[in-house]
Amino acid sequence: MLSLAKAYLGDLEIVDPAALGALRGKPVLYLANHETYLESVLFSLVMSALGDIQVEALAKVEHQAAWLGRLHDLLTVWPGLGHPGSIVYFNQQDPAQLPRLIAERCRTASLLVHVEGTRQTVPGQPVEKISSLWVDLATERQVAVVPVAFRGGIGDGRKHDLPQGCARQSMHVGLPILPAELAALPYADRRKRIAERINALGQPAPVPVHQTRLEGMVRMEEGRYGAVVAGIRAAVEGELLTPAERAQVPDWGRALGLL
């Protein structure tokens, strides 16, 4: 995980460290845009450490058996050691499941939610849709909303699994919106306030700054999933120094179920 963070995590901006620190150890709702799949795992693990409470990214159940779920398991499962995991999966075919799931998880963990549910394709693309479910959860459960923006991972009008060009993606954590602030707004303005806070972060949004070494390794692979495997292999194996350590690296293609 440290190797992936070194390779793909750029700036981590905390707009108001004192305000975020006041929530340390308490469940919060991180409501964010969505640029790449990898950002979810990296953000959850980094902010779990900074916030002193487990952060779980909300993801569709289809990802559990796909490369993202497999990567998550490889990074968080170790013989003899337990890890609560950093992804919580939900089934879109069971609409009643989601409210129950998030109410349960928010008792003991923070949640990262990509509010529009799909990856963006344009740098700085504004968030326009936020479900009232998150506003209701924040006010009814007295959970703070923390706006988050991921920037610098996309720039060519296409969706990306990893940051485009193996760029280092920046993460911007905004000023928390406390339940009382949301409750004081007219109901129709609550989602608007959250969207405005997300959209203001990390602007103007940068285009990806390609990392030539990693990008060169990725280009050697064919197809979308070959590039995913190569991007992960390049980041992780680049940190290994000895043949003995390198021998312990899994066959990423088979491990992620892609090749």
Q: For residue 183, give the CATH number of its domain.
A: 3.40.1130.10
Its domain, for residue 47, covers 2-200
- Tell me: do 134 and 236 sit in the same domain: no
Between 115 and 229, the more confident residue is 115
Q: Residue 210 carries which DSSP code? A: -
How far apart, in whole angstroms, are the C-alpha atoms of residue 239 and residue 175?
35
Between 71 and 87, the more confident residue is 87
Residue 205 lies in a domain: no
Query: 103, 108, 126, 110: which is closest to 44 by C-alpha?
Result: 110
Look at residue 224 in the predicted model and tell me its pLDDT: 55
Unique residue bearing structure tokens 């159940």: 61
The tens digit of pLDDT for each residue in 44-73 reads: 989 999 999 999 999 888 887 777 777 777
- Tell me: do 242 and 124 sit in the same domain: no
Instruction: Reply yes or no on whether the pLDDT at 111 is more than 80.
Output: yes
Number of domains in the chain: 2
Look at residue 222 in the predicted model and tell me its pLDDT: 44
Look at residue 90 in the predicted model and tell me its pLDDT: 85
Q: What is the pTM of this model?
A: 0.83
Would you place residue 220 in the very low, low, confident or very high pLDDT band (cuts 50, 70, 90)? very low
3-class state of residue 60 by DSSP: strand
Look at residue 212 in the predicted model and tell me its pLDDT: 67
Q: Are strands 28-32 and 110-114 parallel, antiparallel or unpaired?
A: parallel
First to last CA, the chain: 22
Residue 206 lies in a domain: no
- Tell me: do 175 and 226 sit in the same domain: no
Q: Are 124 and 153 in contact (CB under 8 A)?
A: no
How far apart, in whole angstroms, are the C-alpha atoms of residue 67 and residue 89?
14
For range 11-29, the mean pLDDT = 96
The tens digit of pLDDT for each residue in 164-182 reads: 888 899 999 999 999 999 9
